[in-house]
Structure 1
Amino acid sequence: MTVRSMAAYLLALLALPATAQAADAQVGARVEALLARMTLQEKIGQLNQLTGRAATGPQAAGRASQLADIRAGKVGSLLNVHGAAETRAMQALALQSRLKIPLLFGLDVIHGYKTVFPVPLGEAASWDLEAIEAAARIAAREAAAAGVHWTFAPMVDVGRDPRWGRVMEGAGEDPYLGAQIARARVRGFQGTKLGATDRVMATAKHFAAYGAAIAGRDYNAVDLSPQQLHEVYLPPFKAALDAGVATFMNSFNTLNGVPATGSSYLQRDILKGDWRFDGFVVSDWASVKEMVAHGYASDLGDAAVKAVNAGSDMDMEGEAYVNHLEQAVRDGKVDVKAVDDAVRRVLAKKFELGLFEDPYRFTDARRERAVLADASHRAVARDVAQKSIVLLKNERRTLPLAAGPRRIAVIGPLADSRRDLEGGWVVEDVRADVVTILAGIRARARGADVTYAQACAPGCASDAGFAQAVATAAEADVIVLAVGETWDMSGEAKSRTDLGLPGRQNELFAALKGTGRPIVAVLLGGRPLIFEDIANRADAILFAWFPGSEGGNAVANVLFGDYNPSARLPIGFPRSVGQLPLPYAQYATGRPVTDERDIVYRSAYIDSPNTPRYAFGHGLSYTTFAYSNLALDRPTLANGQTATLSFDLANTGPVVGTEIAQLYVRDLVASTVRPLKELKGFRKVTLRPGERQRVTFKIERDTLAFFDSRLRWVAEPGEFHLMVGSAADDIRLRGALRLREE
């Protein structure tokens, strides 16, 4: 352990309660005792993570040698091995090694194990931290019952460019909202303490700034100012760390010319230094090896040296450490203390999980069967899915359908698709049955005549079925049109330059519009899409993301008004790709647009407004809400003080509804130009018709602080505008607060 890391460890230890200090000291003593018995080769083995090779199929050729390596103690972790029987068998091999150090089993449990929840960006649209935590908790319970110790989630990258397919895995464009969701997901996966057999270790990924990939192209370089890194991209990682996240995963990208896997600045200076992180860092898939392709390392041995010296503890699927670190230590290129530090971190987590007491404690076939059969998980999946569905448009109260149409035509390539409701990153061989949109509507539409026409297959390459779809629609009172991306169009390696609806779906909409029947568009996708014709001419629009196993029932509940939609966009939807990236937190320019009719020599486009089609925070309800009577208990804030902003929120509509009131702040004059709006708080409030509630926000100096040009966290004196509203572009109340100079 380096002097700096030892100092950080001691400081963190002193900050713990006495019982926690004792437990941590006990783990530390056991780690040191084991480390003293280990050969260099055995140490390096703990830093080697491999994909479990199947007994048959393309991976079978490497299985025999991998099993031998596990017996020899040359593998510290396996990924993509799950199921109580399989993990027990692999663990038994590890216990044949000299020191009998158990394996860690890791798996990408991104939005569910057997029960599939909405994709993470969809969950983020709920702005419901309890629901998000519940989804992660159930995913952890199911995965842990199948012998999994560790999930490579949550992804906490801020994503402001929806061309990047991995926005699907995150919480959207805002660092504040992203930080709250990061905490909730870590709590859901891990609980309060590692070791419970119904929880798994979480991973904060990808460290760092992966979401800022140039041109929205996956794996691309990132060129970012230090101030933007600290202000926008690091806060969700820090929130995950503060919530106790066990591991970090570094990212594929270079950051200002240095691969994140080889960045001492990210891993040693920030993460293990300033933030005192005591867990371990795992590389992303072969990202150590990929430093050679980046041109940062000359060969695999050089990559191993640079990665471990920079603080990357475990090598996922690169086989750089296991093949080259031993020689690098003997050649003096790597200090054995760096290896020991990495091994300590890995072993500590194995002790904390209780694997040395009972290596099989997560591998119980009876518990696996019982947990995976638990029907209550589907009820939570339905609740989370309906809370994630955003009502983007509702002209002439087309929705809800409950009291209206007797003949409903369900049309579209995604209306009866199961796979496209799940989205990417699912565990392929254990998934629960999926309720399609058509099935959900038929189950709910009591007394109504529900007809169906697919019109075209997912992807909609042909219009051969359009005529039948139009004929079916013409006989109905209302059309429910299910269109959007297919499941494999969002996620890793799914960057797009065209965010429009794929294939001929726009033509299908135009043909159905010709019937004169009202159209409710239900759109599926893992990212913001561009659908201008539908946005302009549909009567109502629901954005359902990829809603998961219970997606069809959730959509039906919203369509018929059994659930009043409350979701809000966690990322804005552009009008065109040419606007991207388009965060709501824009910076002031010297030539701002103050009137869209006058854009000459202004920061504007000549062929489009600057504004998004649907802004961050946007989402409608079947009721209405009024904001009034804003008050601030003090006009000036001094050091150590807290200001309270309060206002009345009333349900002025006909049904129970939930409003998400949002607080935005603007620093008018600062040493660096500040955004025009920054989200600083939100409240989710449910009200009966006619009910009114006083809502409050607390404002402290940290609420008004930022990283200045020297990366100091400062709150500069001056005037701040306070804005409360229903979306970033729907501000209802305004106030002002002055920060006093100390």
Structure 2
Amino acid sequence: MVEQAGSKNLDNLPVAIEQRIGELVARMTLAEKIGQMSQLSGSGGAELKRAVAEGRVGSILNDVNTENINELQRIAREESRLGIPLLVGRDVIHGFRTIFPIPLGQAASWNPAVVREGARIAALEAASTGVNWTFAPMIDVTRDPRWGRIAESLGEDPWLASVLGAAMVQGFQGDDLAGKGTIAACAKHFAGYGATEGGRDYNTANIPENELRNVYLPPFQAAADAGVATFMASFSDLNGVPASGNEFLMKQILRQEWGYKGFVVSDWESIRQLSVHGFTANDKEAAYEAANAGVDMEMVSTTYADHLPALVAEGRIDEREIDRMVTSILRIKARLGLFDNSHTEPTDFPALVNQQHREAARQAARQSVVMLQNRNRVLPLNSGKLNTLALIGPLADDPYEQLGTWIFDGQAEDSVTLLQALRDAVGNKVKVNFARGLVNTRSKSRAEFAEAIALAEAADAVVLALGEEAILSGEAHSRADIRLPGYQQQLIEALAATGKPLILVVMAGRPLTLTDIVDKVDAILYSWHPGTMGGPAIADILLGKHSPSGKLPVTFPNTVGQIPIYYSHKNTGKPPSDDTIAHIDDIDAKAPQTSLGMTSFYLDAGYKPLFPFGFGLSYTEFAYSDIRISSERPHVGSDIQVSALLTNTGKMEAEEIVQLYLRDLVGNVTRPVRELKGFQRVRLQPGEARRVGFTLTSEELAFYNRKMQKVVEPGQFHVWIGGSSEAELATQFELLGETVLLP
């Protein structure tokens, strides 16, 4: 029996536990060791039960039948030679039965507490079935909304993804992995998957090492620092070396530089796919490359089981390395308390989708809504002055589609739609009439337009619920054209012609290019795919019970041709400005080349996004003033205090997400024009003012230089505090001293 350990810190297990794990590994045959390194998909069939009894499998995935799981755990504990329990994996991405907004939507809340609570509830519900391991959080930094998996991400910024990813890890794992209702988390996909070419899933990623370290790796290091139990290798290759066989990632960075003590699992059959990449000639060589790189567990495919014995016999793989891998897996099982009790009793847990869980999902969805436009203050709707409201759109009353991608255990019957929520909220005061307008978001038929137009003409205002069905985003669902699909634009144009106030609610798994319709609607609420309680959350915003407070975690392009477009770009040697650009329609015939300003922009799309990172409107107004800094000439290594006065100058109590941005003007490598370095949610009453402060430490000023050293350099810095990445209130300081290397 292996004693349990509960600390989320993966270092320094008690000596007695390490000793007993060592004794257990010493008793294992090579086949049993490889069994611990093998994960199979199944639901309790005879062959899987036999494999468990024979010690040929250490983990299963995609079974949430508690009876099946308990029986497999019993077989593992009582019938296998060594009695080692199973890890039970499941994609619990943004909820189990109670579905929260998609991760990109949660990122729009800019609220670590909301993200942590969502993960805690997801873990609690999943654990009630016997699941003890989730393949989340996905913390790939991505700047390409064509990529379907942007829905699972936390956006384009490494700082925001680091803070929220760590919060998600803490929510899943709690303070004690052995505690009831906690499950092991898995940071994925290591690394660079969010930079796949063309936004196509599974595609190649070419990332210079300096950019990899400065942009794509920080969220993973933050997850490791937060004690994440496991990592998952990316499907993609990185600079020509697929992640599942990448020694640089798994050994040099993860193990040697970061000292990570958890284990690494492949993605689904990604070890076998090393040969499909053209990286290996066959499954045996694929098994060698993955094991040699340090991938500890193989998901679904069986190259380890089939070929590691021969590779060890041939001396190509040292069995001591196998022992290290198995030890890291057993440590996580010990942390989870599985050696003490691997049986699950659902009655020990709260009911699924209970009222407390629903309220948490509602709050998360509410804080995730981003108001992008509110012309003539058409929002919030005043139910006291409305007689009839037209609710139109295929997503207005579709309980399944609002759940979003990757919700294996979520059920439409649990959802409350926008139609239900609005009718419940206004009761008999306002008549809410509903028409779909389109059969679904991809429909190219005007057959239902007439009913929708008639309802709009008879209404005081129109709420239009459009966007993407859930299946249009997520894994393997990349899109080259990210406009509203089908005839949604045509429906908007037809309704705009009625002259009635038109409020667009977008439910989608990615940023969409809204340029063609933004001038045709009065207001836009971007709710992402909001989850189980999306309807009540959106209704809360529409009716003014809560002010919208979400901010964009990713830049919205004007057109797909601007991609990649993100706020923290480099300045270039010829930066664009409004004074130096021209539009394609304004160029004279036979114009000389130098007449266009010679700067970095598009002739037909300029250089600015439709909506910038960090942007989001409120029902009140916030004013920023009086920025202060603790020292204009601090020394390297000292903390710098920066603050500004935030005032609610409007008439409604509301929350503002105050954002801190930094620019290092001169560096050993060129630095971004702005980088997010802090944020706070601040609630103010009308007329209330509060000074909001931030601390810049060496960590916030550091970057990887051309020698791949993490350094803080002296020099000039600019600092902004405001409500988006386009904040104008600024100060500056000069950092004095010598360059310092950080660990």
Do they fold alike, i.e. is TM over 0.5? yes
The secondary structure found in structure 2 opposite 1:493 is: coil
Q: Does 1:118 align with 2:114?
A: no
What percent identity do the matched residue pairs reach? Answer: 44
Q: Is the 8 A contact 2:557 2:611 kept in 1?
A: yes
Q: Is the 8 A contact 2:636 2:714 kept in 1?
A: no
Q: 1:206 to 1:69 in 2, by over 3 A?
A: same
Q: Does 1:726 align with 2:708?
A: no
Matches within 5 A, 1:299-378: 299-360=282-343, 363-368=344-349, 370-372=350-352, 374-378=354-358
Q: 1:114 to 1:288 in 2, by over 3 A?
A: same
Alignment-derived partner of residue 84 in structure 1: 66
Alignment-derived partner of residue 10 in structure 1: none
Long gaps (5+) in structure 2: 583-595, 739-743
Note the alpha carbon deviations across 1:455-476, whole angstroms, 9 max, x for none: 1111223110001110111000
1: distance between equivalents of 2:493 and 2:410?
A: 39
The secondary structure found in structure 1 opposite 2:414 is: coil
Q: 1:685 pairs with 676, 682, 687, which one?
A: 682
Output the TM-score relative to the length of structure 1.
0.94
1: distance between equivalents of 2:285 and 2:40?
A: 20
Alignment-derived partner of residue 152 in structure 1: 135
Q: Does 1:713 align with 2:710?
A: yes
2: distance between equivalents of 1:454 and 1:641?
A: 59
Q: Does 1:629 align with 2:626?
A: yes
How far did 1:22 drift?
A: 7.3
Q: Does 1:42 align with 2:20?
A: no
Matches within 5 A, 1:552-567: 552-567=535-550
Alignment-derived partner of residue 70 in structure 1: 52
The secondary structure found in structure 2 opposite 1:521 is: strand
Q: Does 1:203 align with 2:186?
A: yes
Q: Is the 8 A contact 1:27 1:352 kept in 2?
A: no
1: distance between equivalents of 2:276 and 2:12?
A: 46
Q: 1:386 pairs with 339, 352, 366, which one?
A: 366
In structure 2, what residue type is equivalent to 1:27? Answer: I
Q: 1:355 to 1:598 in 2, by over 3 A?
A: closer
Q: Does 1:611 align with 2:608?
A: yes
2: distance between equivalents of 1:28 and 1:728?
A: 48
How far did 1:667 drift?
A: 1.1
Alignment-derived partner of residue 438 in structure 2: 456
Q: 2:581 pairs with 552, 574, 598, which one?
A: 598
Alignment-derived partner of residue 503 in structure 1: 486
Q: 1:439 pairs with 386, 405, 420, which one?
A: 420
2: distance between equivalents of 1:549 and 1:247?
A: 28
User: Which stretch has the larger CA shift, 422-431 or 408-417?
Assistant: 422-431
Note the alpha carbon deviations across 1:234-284, whole angstroms, 9 max, x for none: 000000000000000000011010010001110011101110110100000
Q: Is the 8 A contact 1:115 1:432 kept in 2?
A: no
How far did 1:64 drift?
A: 3.0
In structure 1, what residue type is equivalent to 2:72? Answer: M
Note the alpha carbon deviations across 1:2-57, whole angstroms, 9 max, x for none: xxxxxxxxxxx9xx99x998753222111101011100000000000011146xxx
How far did 1:630 drift?
A: 1.1
1: distance between equivalents of 2:674 and 2:416?
A: 40
Q: 2:556 pairs with 566, 573, 578, which one?
A: 573
Q: 2:251 pairs with 263, 268, 273, which one?
A: 268
Note the alpha carbon deviations across 1:433-490, whole angstroms, 9 max, x for none: 1111111111112300110111111122311000111011100000000000110001
User: Which stretch has the larger CA shift, 45-54 or 370-379?
Assistant: 370-379
In structure 1, what residue type is equivalent to 2:375? Answer: E
How far did 1:738 drift?
A: 0.5
User: Which stretch has the larger CA shift, 41-50 or 530-539?
Assistant: 530-539
How far did 1:597 drift?
A: 5.6
Alignment-derived partner of residue 267 in structure 2: 284
In structure 2, what residue type is equivalent to 1:352? Answer: R
In structure 2, what residue type is equivalent to 1:448? Answer: V
The secondary structure found in structure 1 opposite 2:351 is: helix
How far did 1:163 drift?
A: 0.7
Q: Does 1:493 align with 2:476?
A: yes
Q: 1:597 to 1:471 in 2, by over 3 A?
A: farther
Aligned residues: CA RMSD:
1.6
Alignment-derived partner of residue 525 in structure 1: 508
Q: Is the 8 A contact 1:141 1:371 kept in 2?
A: no
Q: Is the 8 A contact 2:493 2:520 kept in 1?
A: no
Q: 1:534 to 1:429 in 2, by over 3 A?
A: closer
2: distance between equivalents of 1:91 and 1:375?
A: 31
In structure 1, what residue type is equivalent to 2:26? Answer: A
2: distance between equivalents of 1:126 and 1:623?
A: 17
Q: Does 1:426 align with 2:407?
A: yes
Alignment-derived partner of residue 586 in structure 2: none
In structure 2, what residue type is equivalent to 1:675? Answer: P
2: distance between equivalents of 1:353 and 1:598?
A: 59
Output the TM-score relative to the length of structure 2.
0.94
Q: Does 1:399 align with 2:395?
A: no
Long gaps (5+) in structure 1: 1-12, 55-62
Q: How many residue pairs end up in the alignment?
A: 715
Q: Is the 8 A contact 1:116 1:432 kept in 2?
A: no
How far did 1:425 drift?
A: 0.7
Q: Does 1:480 align with 2:477?
A: no
In structure 1, what residue type is equivalent to 2:404? Answer: G
The secondary structure found in structure 1 opposite 2:289 is: helix
1: distance between equivalents of 2:612 and 2:637?
A: 35
Q: Is the 8 A contact 1:114 1:430 kept in 2?
A: yes
User: Which stretch has the larger CA shift, 561-570 or 427-436?
Assistant: 427-436
2: distance between equivalents of 1:466 and 1:553?
A: 26
2: distance between equivalents of 1:596 and 1:80?
A: 57
The secondary structure found in structure 2 opposite 1:452 is: strand
Alignment-derived partner of residue 52 in structure 1: 42
In structure 2, what residue type is equivalent to 1:740? Answer: L
